Amino acid sequence: MRAYPPCDGVEHSFVLAGDVRLHVATAGPADGPVVVLLHGWPEHWWLWHDVIPALAADGRRVIAPDLRGFGWSEITADGYDKEQFASDVLALLDALGVETFDLVGHDWGGWTAQLIALRAPERVRRLALLNISHVWLTVGGGRARHAHKLAYQPLVGAPVIGPLAHRTGLLWTIMGRAGITAEGVAEYRAAFRAPGRALAGSKVYRTFLRREVPAILRGRYAGQRLRMPTRMLFGTDDIAIHPSLLDGFEDHADDVRITWVDDCGHFIVDEQPARVVAWLREVLAEPV
């Protein structure tokens, strides 16, 4: 098994979450208030390596799993729709005996976090999201002008081409230019060299485009609301998600606030880790 990258105070374990074996990195006191950190694509738990020690030092119990197919978690033939990711995380927390928690997510981790919060609002104290759209996507308005930003998704999700892209240098050159650190590029690229992981990464997008998007546009989440305090930190130079995709967020959440970060892109945790830590500390200190 490939060695874990270093992160102060982290312990590693594997937990059977429903039908999938997930790798989870944990830190902080066992009896501290739980905060769950969910990574996005093309990363894994180590996305949070600057965040975990800081939150653990505050007395929080930090749980950072690898989503199905990513990092060290089990690779499965299917199950890469985001509702299944949400089910996996909830099953993981059930297995760990966690009742309530604060929930943080970036990219697909942020999308998954919204689905968890919609499904189990009584368990989520606060919801903190970083550079992801809300799940109430629609067609029309000014968003069409920025559709080109999402052109990478059919390529990454395509059979043959998509898995190949996960292993080739061009993708990782783009990731580096988009804000992932050189150390991060090397780490995440190495993870996708494991047999089956590149295909799993591609299926995240293939499943989204083929099955999830049509259901969303038909109103899959219409009428559902986020009931807990919801906070967003968003780098406005995001190469993939235009800020207009957050339009109307307040129509679907009881208490939402967006903090815009100029001169920062999609990979905000890599680009501005100190800002992310400071913001999370503020969010987690808010009353609920």
Task: Give pairs for 139-142: CB < 8 Å, separation 24+.
Answer: 139/217, 141/244, 141/247, 142/244
Q: Point out the least confidently predicted range of 42-46, 141-145, 258-262.
A: 141-145
| Per-residue model confidence as pLDDT tens digits over 88-139 | 999 999 999 999 999 999 999 999 999 999 999 999 999 999 999 999 998 7
Total number of residues shown for the chain: 288
Structural domain boundaries in the chain: 11-143+222-285
Residue 174: phi and psi, rounded to 5, are -65, -45
Rounded to an integer, the average pLDDT of 6-11 is 97
Q: Are 235 and 131 in contact (CB under 8 A)?
A: yes
- Residue 146 pLDDT greater than 90, yes or no: no
Could you give the angle at which helices 108-119 and 82-95 cross, rounded to 10 degrees? 70
pLDDT digits over 49-80, tens only?
999 999 999 999 999 999 999 999 999 999 99
User: How many C-beta atoms surround the C-beta of residue 60 within 10 A?
Assistant: 22
Among the CATH numbers 3.40.50.1820, 1.10.10.10, 1.10.760.10, 3.40.718.10, which is that of 11-143+222-285?
A: 3.40.50.1820
